[in-house]
Amino acid sequence: MTWDDEYDVVVAGSGAGALTGALAAASRGLRTAVLEKTGLLGGTSAYSGAAIWLPGTRVQERAGIGDSTEAARAYLRAVLGDGGAAHREAFLATAPELVEFLERDPALEFEFRPFPDYFDAPGRLRGGRSFVPLDLPVERLGELAGLVRPPVGRDRAGRGHPARPVAQGRALIGRLLLALTATGGAEIRTGTALTELVVRDGRVAGVLAVTADGPVRLRAARGVLLAAGGFESSAALRAEHGVPGGADRTMAPDGANTGDAIAAAVRIGASTALLDQAWFCPGLRTPDGRPAFTLGFRGGLIVDGSGRRFGNESLPYDRMGRLLARAGGPFHLIFDARSGGLPAISVPPLVPDEQLASGRWVRAGTLAELARRIGLPEDALTGTVERFNGFAEKGSDDDFHRGEDPYDRYFSGGGTCLVAVDEPPYYAAEVVLSDLGTKGGLRTDPDGRVLDGSGRPLPGLYAAGNTSASFTGPRYPGPGIPIGSAMAFAYRAVQDMRKNPVDQSGTPE
């Protein structure tokens, strides 16, 4: 077989993990290709808040929050148990080194941002331990600005970036791209979808990809890193593996993450795990039916199809999502005029008039009328709200303990999130089970090496982010774990690739 282009490292995908891996490779002089299926870079990572859960690093030290690897270990052990200890230790050991590596580049600047960890467990920090990239003036991105995927609402509507600094996930992707392009050693190929892995002499030697101009064969002398997201946008794969929710309800960019990289690896003998899992969240339906990721309920209550509450609405979103998956829908958020709009944060932000005009929100003068209009039993809904209002009055939720955990109160500034719903007009907003991506995928070892069915690494093949089975299993320990772990394992993968033998076409270091 002849190659169309030859690289040391080929990275599939362009999210935070992919670009971290590419940067780790290119900054060490390895010829690196980033393949992105769509015309835009950043995937779901670009939509994200870019909270990064990498504990015990110089960022937390600068902020003086007293984080340490030991405290983070205690927390992860308490939340995840002892399974996956090797991955946990690899992750913890890598976090400080990775952040030091990243911050050596002037393009990469981070700051601590308080956001509580998601479980009441030993080692938890009140203000959490995650950090975010600094906003980036759009001019600094130059021509790259047009390539970074815009915020989710604008992207879905086909609009570009707002005329102000790029922030959050866009800032993370933009900053990683600035650092990557400055190495001069990376080629970024948009509109290039990995389809197959090429095995030669018992190791992954390259990839086949499709472009608008036809297929290309790309050599990877050191290794291939698969960081091409999960399969959240494939209805067929979701059904096959029993992932609750739906391809039309995921927050990932439309049609991007359809499990291509996982399937290509499985075809050459890779094994998989956790395939029924996702990073779940509640979603409020927007006028076009797609979800808005909703978190931080500081008022209102959520009822199921019988008009009853079924859990603590203020739980961290993955935990609330898992309750939605278990309870029978349809679900509605019930709130009133007191909250002056949605008593929660939604991404993208929702415009009440548009929500009402589209029928995704319903407004009524009484709870009974609201119940009739959304098809719930009147007595059940009014009874549920009365009981909830009683809890609000006495300041404790006997049913689901809402407001007892500091996370619950974080979004109401430390004050109560148990607020009576008794000021008409009343509103009902349609709630669905959504997700931020699937989290089951290729089994890897702690160096990101993809494993076969017998637990042996497939030489030359690595995976990170949602293409790999997350070491967190069915738990979401804290804000920024998806991105932090994607970055850490992509970095480790490239460290390992540097040890791989290469023939004369590979770049010696």
In whole angstroms, the minimum distance from the beta carbon of 9 to ligand FAD comes to: 14
In whole angstroms, the minimum distance from the beta carbon of 465 to ligand FAD comes to: 3
In whole angstroms, the minimum distance from the beta carbon of 210 to ligand FAD comes to: 9
Instruction: Give the Cβ contact number of residue 362 at 10 Å.
Output: 18
DSSP string for 109-132? -EEE-----SS--TT--TT-S-EE
Residue with smaller CB distance to ligand FAD, 210 or 364: 210
In whole angstroms, the minimum distance from the beta carbon of 197 to ligand FAD comes to: 11
Distance CA 13, CA 36 (A): 5
**Binding residues for ligand FAD, per CB under 6 A?**
12-18, 35-38, 43-45, 47-51, 152, 193-194, 227-229, 251-252, 256-257, 260-261, 279, 293, 347, 436-437, 465-466, 479-483, 486
In whole angstroms, the minimum distance from the beta carbon of 291 to ligand FAD comes to: 10
Residue with smaller CB distance to ligand FAD, 48 or 57: 48
Residue with smaller CB distance to ligand FAD, 49 or 311: 49
Residue with smaller CB distance to ligand FAD, 250 or 312: 250
Q: Are 224 and 461 in contact (CB under 8 A)?
A: yes
DSSP state of 192: -
Beta strands in 97-202 (DSSP E): 110-112, 131-133, 186-189, 193-200
Residue with smaller CB distance to ligand FAD, 72 or 418: 72
Q: Are 243 and 398 in contact (CB under 8 A)?
A: no
In whole angstroms, the minimum distance from the beta carbon of 168 to ligand FAD comes to: 7
Helix residue spans in 268-377 (DSSP H): 317-326, 352-358, 367-374
Residue with smaller CB distance to ligand FAD, 303 or 469: 469
65, 376, 431 from 380: Cα distances, Å: 46, 8, 18
In whole angstroms, the minimum distance from the beta carbon of 19 to ligand FAD comes to: 9
Residue with smaller CB distance to ligand FAD, 12 or 320: 12
442 CB-near residues (< 8 Å, 6+ apart): 226, 262, 265, 266, 270, 271, 272, 450, 451, 463, 467, 468, 469
Question: In this structure, what token pair is assigned to residue 347?
Answer: 């991404």
